[in-house]
Chain A
Amino acid sequence: MSFLSSVYAYLYYFAAFVLIAGLIAKIVQYARTPAPLKIPTTPAPTTRSGVAFRITREVVFFESLFRGNKWIWIFGWMFHFGLFLVTLRHLRYFVDPVPAPLQFIQPFGVYGGIAMVIGLAGLWARRLLVDRVRYITSLSDHLILGLLVAIGLSGLMMRFVLHTDVVRVKEFFQGLYVGQINQLPADPFLLLHLFLVAALMIIFPYSKLLHMPGLFFSPTRNQVDNPREKRHIAPWAQRMEQEQEAQ
């Protein structure tokens, strides 16, 4: 069994590296690419704090999506908020001791897991039932939905049907911090669940899951509407001007 534990240990080292390094690389790339023109979708906030408030509304409430399509909003928001609660619930495996707020959130994490799967089912149904959405769906969109649903269902199975030894699961992950490979319980749902989560971590920086950092870098959402008051110019545009003036 220790072979399997080793495989999972290295899988998680790899997955964590890919996720973190990949995301950092993408974020650096986004941050270093200039936005040469002021293109906020107006009406837009005229101050930085206004922009922070706009982005917060997008992140927390999916404001634009709410205006765009109520069905996608309901299912999408259910899924994401559920996933958020589930993530909070799972933090108990990664911190020790578990702080009081995390202990308090535990039962809500379970509701979150259910909401997440229902939300995903709704989003998947739209891909099959609405002709416009079916047209834009590619195989990878189905696979990512399948992956997330399988993660949710395998997790719920462990909560409601076949329990696993969560104490040993926590020991396994705590051990990874110090390069020590502890025995992982050999429960099929646990192994499936962990394998799929690692897969999700690995594809994250190489797929449409980049929408998460993307939102923060979207010029139509993160720019202040003040072009007349403040001159905005990209470094490459500045160089171009200087070259033309020199001629």
Chain B
Amino acid sequence: MAKADFQVPELKQYAEIPTIEPGVMAHSAPFKSKEEFQGALGFPGTLVDDWQPKAIAKMGDLLSRYRSLRVYMDSCVKCGSCTDKCHYYLGTKDPKNMPVGRQDLMRKVYRRYFTLAGRFFPKLVGAEDFTEEVLDDWYSYFHQCSQCRRCSVFCPYGIDTAEISMAAREIMDSIGVGQKYCNEIIGKVYKIGNNLGLPGPALADTLEGLEEDVFDDTGVEVKYPLDQEGAEILLVTPSADFFAEPHVDGLIGYGKVFHEAGVSWTLSTHASEAANFGMFIGSYENMRRVAMRIREAAIKLKVKRIVFGECGHAWRVAYSFLNTLAGPWDFLDPRYPVPQHICEFTYGLIQEGKLRFDKTQNDDMVLTYHDSCNVARASRMGDRPGGQFDIPRAIIRATCNHFYDMDEETIRDRTFCCGGGGGLLTDDLMEIRVKGAQPRVEALNNVMQEKGVTHMAAICAICKSQFTKVLPYYGMEMDQIVSVHQLVSNALVLTGQADDDEEDTVEDEAA
């Protein structure tokens, strides 16, 4: 069990709604960004002198540019429907982690400076001046939101706290109060091409290593091409896929699927990152700059299609925003959606009967599936609403014999965030990450007890990294989290694969 200098929440058999404990998480705040990281993104390096009027002006600017923010500031009636829906509230008991509590941190400032009632009767409507204490609270609690949108599912007006925490981070960045983790990473994308700062030669090296591994394993020459001009498909995947477990097993899986499909594909050093942390900091400009790299790579490599690897918020930006940010994509093959998710691609092949699986290869695992928040509530797969739930499950069922879902209240569009999304996947936020994981880990624990589940599959790099790190705090093993395409990779029988019990059939087919 990992050691913690804070109280790790207890896992219960039935979910409980805790009694509020005001202020218990006020101390939690990520490292502040430094001048060197801020500049590359177009933000001031440190807190500007006249920060208060500047922040209020920025808020006015965002209110005029984002209908979501404008409507959500006005519409909340404080009904309480969202109060027990945030995983960070459930895990920490701090009422400022209730969605409405978090929104109110901004709403009280909005009311003070932008509404008649707040200007004249601040006490009456809970309006407050934008003081340094309020700014501290903002920095602390707007970095305890993973922008997972679970609250927006249950709000009668669809108020999405993610929109508000994005706006808050944008306002803070504009006065020089940035978060180190996100802003440093975005800088790396601009400079090198991916979040992890892996240069081209390192990528080439890694991919070569993967080709060797797969060959040793299967006897089949599966390629993992990089910067190959004229390839049919550009694969854009989170950079964690290039080296970390269990991510890399997923990447091996994508390559095998492309190989079996007989389609040419390539990765790009220029767009070697699916993630787009511009979204986390609410910066349209930075989000667009990151997204444009994919357009540039697609043009340069003359590809016909774009496919995204397993990454949650990346898929949100890809599915929901890419056309807006970096479109139109009229130079790509119009027969395919732009972009496609690797799960859509694999599922399509399964439907066509083009993939052959030996499910027993996954018999050492009993699986459940974690719906990643951004995929579940901010995107879609396939042509029907809800495909984002059904397609990954269909892939798991096609590749595994043993699969059980977690409690209905905690999956599909009611899924709990892993606790590490939204730019919180950094060691300086370990306490909130562990506590925020509690509702998901509790549901996992229950299905482990009841159904003997051993592993949880996911299609998000952040979820995978987060669970690898936090599961040990709850007495579980770090390798209990697996990639969906890792399961595909295990079970997929490659054409020509030297496999003892499959040899005959393969030969038959070849003849």
Contact B155 A64 (CB under 8 A): yes
A36 CA to B75 CA, complexed, in Å: 19
In this complex, how many residues of chain A approach chain B with their Cβ under 8 Å: the count is 64
> Which residues on the A side are within 8 Å of B321 (C-beta)?
37-38, 227
What sequence of 0s and 1s flags, for each residue 327-345 of chain B, a beta carbon within 8 Å of any chain A beta carbon? 1100000000111000000
Residues 285-310 of B at the A interface (beta carbon under 8 Å): 285, 288
Please, which residues of chain B bring their CB within 8 A of the CB of A136? Answer: 78, 80, 83, 95, 98, 100-101, 104
Closest to B78 in A: A136
Q: Give complex CA distance A214, B260 in Å.
A: 50
Q: Which of B38-46, B156-164, B450-458 contacts the other chain?
A: B156-164
Q: Are A215 and B156 within 8 A (Cβ)? A: yes
CA distance A81 to B85 in the complex (A): 26
Q: Is B247 an interface residue (CB 8 A)?
A: no
- Alpha-carbon gap, A108 to B444, bound state (A): 50
Residues of chain B with a CB closer than 8 A to A49's CB? none
Cβ of B76 under 8 Å from chain A? yes
Q: When chains A and B are docked, how far (Å) is the Cα of A228 from the Cα of B328?
A: 10
Tell whether A43 is near chain B: CB-to-CB under 8 Å.
yes
Interface string of B63-90 (1 = CB under 8 A from A): 1111110111011111111111100000
A138 contacts B320, CB within 8 Å? no
Contacts known (A139-B123, A139-B124); A69 close to B80, Cβ less than 8 A: yes
Contact A215 B157 (CB under 8 A): yes
Q: Which residues of A contact B95 (CB under 8 A)?
A: 132, 135-136
- What residues of B have a CB within 8 angstroms of the CB of A232 in the complex? 323-324
- Separation of A16 and B157 alpha carbons in the complex (Å): 26
- Closest B residue to A138 by CB, please name it: B126
B115: interface (CB < 8 Å): yes
Residues of A226-245 at the interface with B, using a CB-CB cut-off of 8 Å, are 227-234, 236-237, 240
Q: Which residues of A contact B75 (CB under 8 A)?
A: 208, 210-211, 214-215, 218
The answer to the question of A87 belonging to the interface, with a C-beta cut-off of 8 Å to chain B, is: no
- Among the stretches A26-34, A94-102, A174-182, the one at the interface with B is A26-34
Looking at the assembled complex, report how far the CB atom of A174 sits from the nearest CB atom of chain B, in whole angstroms: 32
Q: How far is the CA of A36 from the CA of B65 in the complex (A)?
A: 8
Question: Which residues from B are CB-within-8-Å of A67?
Answer: 153-154
- The answer to whether B154 and A131 touch across the interface, beta carbons within 8 angstroms, is no
Q: How far is the CB of A106 from chain B (nearest CB, A)?
A: 30
B22: Cβ under 8 A from any A Cβ: yes
Does A126 have its Cβ within 8 Å of any Cβ on chain B? yes
Q: With a CB–CB cut-off of 8 A, which chain A residues contact B426?
A: none
Q: A126-B80, A208-B76 given as contacts; is B376 within 8 A of A35 (CB)?
A: no
Establish whether residues B126 and A43, one from each chain, have CB atoms under 8 Å apart when the complex forms.
no
Most buried by B among A37, A208, A211, A229: A37
Residues of chain B within 8 A of A236, CB atoms compared:
65
Q: Is A157 an interface residue (CB 8 A)?
A: no
Which of A42, A76, A234 is the one whose CB lies under 8 Å from B376?
A: A42
**Chain A residue, CB-CB nearest to B125:** A140
B154, A132: Cβ atoms under 8 Å?
no
Q: Which residues of A contact B68 (CB under 8 A)?
A: 35, 39, 218-220
Which of chain A's residues has its CB closest to B80's CB?
A133
Instruction: Give a binary string over A70-113; 1 marks a CB under 8 Å from any B CB, 0 the rest.
Output: 00100010000000000000000000000000000000000000
The interface residues of chain A lying within 8 Å CB-to-CB of B154 are: 64-65, 67-69
Q: A42-B379, A211-B157, A218-B158 are in contact. Are A231 and B74 (CB under 8 A)?
A: no
B4 within 8 A of A: no
Residue A58, interface by CB 8 Å: yes
- Hey, which chain B residues are within 8 Å of A143, CB to CB? 124
Q: How far is the CB of B14 from the nearest CB of chain A, in Å?
A: 17
- Give 1 or 0 for each of B128-165: 1 = CB within 8 Å of chain A CB: 00000000000000000000010011111111100100
Chain B contacts of A231 at CB under 8 A?
323-324, 327-328
Complex: A135 Cα to B82 Cα, angstroms: 13
Whether a CB of chain B sits under 8 angstroms from the CB of A155 is: no
Residues of B within 8 A of A131 (CB): 19-20
B82 CB contacts on chain A under 8 angstroms: 68
- Residues B84 and A132 in contact, CB atoms below 8 Å apart: yes
Q: How far is the CA of A68 from the CA of B157 in the complex (A)?
A: 12
Contacts of B103-121 to chain A: CB distance below 8 A: 104, 115-117
A187 touches B (CB below 8 Å)? no
Known: A214-B71, A220-B68. A228 touches B338 (CB 8 A): yes
A-B contact pairs, 21 of them (CB 8 A): A30-B70, A38-B321, A41-B158, A43-B386, A62-B156, A65-B79, A65-B81, A65-B155, A67-B154, A131-B19, A132-B17, A132-B83, A136-B98, A139-B126, A211-B74, A218-B68, A218-B75, A225-B380, A231-B323, A231-B324, A233-B324
Given contacts A26-B74, A227-B320, 18 further A-B contacts (CB under 8 A): A37-B284, A58-B158, A64-B81, A69-B81, A69-B154, A126-B80, A131-B20, A132-B80, A135-B22, A138-B78, A206-B116, A211-B75, A218-B72, A219-B71, A220-B158, A227-B324, A228-B319, A234-B65
Q: Which residues of A contact B (CB under 8 A)?
A: 26, 29-30, 33-39, 41-46, 58, 62, 64-65, 67-69, 72, 76, 123, 126, 130-133, 135-141, 143, 203, 206-208, 210-211, 214-215, 217-221, 225, 227-234, 236-237, 240
